[in-house]
Amino acid sequence: MTIGFAAFLMRTGVLQIMILSAPALLISMAVGLVISVVQATTSIQEQTLSFVPKIAAILLALILFGPWMFTTLVQYTQSLFLRIPDMVR
């Protein structure tokens, strides 16, 4: 395995992590922003108020995007397994 091939594997792995985590992170960030605006306008400064809606939003995102995430991860894993002969050289 060459340095370039190892760098390619690392780059594609990090890219897959970013792509697969993006839906849950973006939805969580949007929910957190909305809750922060509501807290600022109502002057309610309870720290635990944002925790439950964020968890619910992440769970909903995983339910909605879970099948896509799973198929993407399976395709990536299959492509890694098909590249094993290239790694030996």
Q: Summarize pLDDT for 28-57 with one digit per residue, the tens.
A: 999 999 998 988 888 887 778 888 899 999
pTM: 0.78
Q: Which of 10, 12, 27 is nearest to 72 (CA)?
A: 12
DSSP 9: H
Q: Are 64 and 38 in contact (CB under 8 A)?
A: no
Provide the CA 55 distance to its chain's centre, in angstroms.
Answer: 14
Q: Which of 52, 80, 51, 64 is nearest to 24 (CA)?
A: 64
pLDDT number for residue 51: 87
Total domain count for the chain?
Answer: 1
- Residue range 59-89, pLDDT digits in tens: 999 999 999 999 999 999 999 999 888 777 6
Q: Which amino acid is at 12?
A: T
Tokens 């922060």 sit on residue: 36
Domain that holds residue 32: 3-88
